[in-house]
Structure 1
Amino acid sequence: MRPEAAVFRELDTLVRNLSDQLAGFRRRALAAEARSRELEQILAGMTGKLDEVRQQVEDMQASRDAAIVQARTLEGQLLTARAEVQRTQTAFAEISAKALPGAMDEELARENDRLKTRLQDAREKATQLTEKVRFLRQQIGLGVER
């Protein structure tokens, strides 16, 4: 197996895992919104601390809204990363089709270098997305604990 193919598979796996994580964050955000509405209804009948509770609910909703915005941003970045992976795979397939079994000319070597650079860029983007998702997960966790 060629090293580039293994790296493509790894990147593709990372991108798919990131999609799954984003879907989980969206479900959590929606569940947090439903829970905050439920709490607001329960506490509406109480006296005294109602204003304080409402402020907490508003804070939770603001955190949820920020999490949803960030999740959408990450989804856009994920789509961009997927498109880059697809372009890289297409270029790799074209180069592989042109290559003769025993001959690797200068053009193929330059193209391989270019693909390695693109792969490294895609790897960095995937790492950044993973870090952002981890941060988002922490932020959602903090918002739910309130």
Structure 2
Amino acid sequence: MRPDTAAFRELDTLVRNLSDQLAGYRRRALSAESRTRELEQLVAERDGTLIEVRADGQRTNQARALLDAKVQELKATAELANAEVARVQSAFTAAAEAATPQSVESELSRENERLRARLTEAGEKTAQLGERLRFLRQQIGHGADR
């Protein structure tokens, strides 16, 4: 065999091996590009989801802040209501203590005294009006005599 034929065959074998290797590399590169596109789509979808999740989180935080403010408002209202209940309870206790038979009786006797005083005063005023009326009748009667 001639040395140039052996070199040519060796070169031919090397070129074929190289082409096979390049074809393998090309297949791997295309496969990697395809996988990269798939991963980029997943990342884009996840980013969209992440943005939605962040927006939901912000809305949740805003709602929580509003609820906290409402809770504080309700606590203040409850404190006012508790104070009003305490005031009403003390007024009720005072009224219940004042409603004992002795206190009712003493209140009635005081009211009777006030009414007797008014009745006496009304009687005196009636007597005064009667005297004035008698005086006026006398004056009218004397005026007719003249």
Indicate the structure whose relative CO is greater, using CA pairs within 8 Å and at least 6 residues apart.
1
Fold-level similarity (TM above 0.5): no
Q: Which has the larger radius of gyration?
A: 2
TM-score by length of 2: 0.37
- The structure with more helix, counted as a fraction of residues: 2
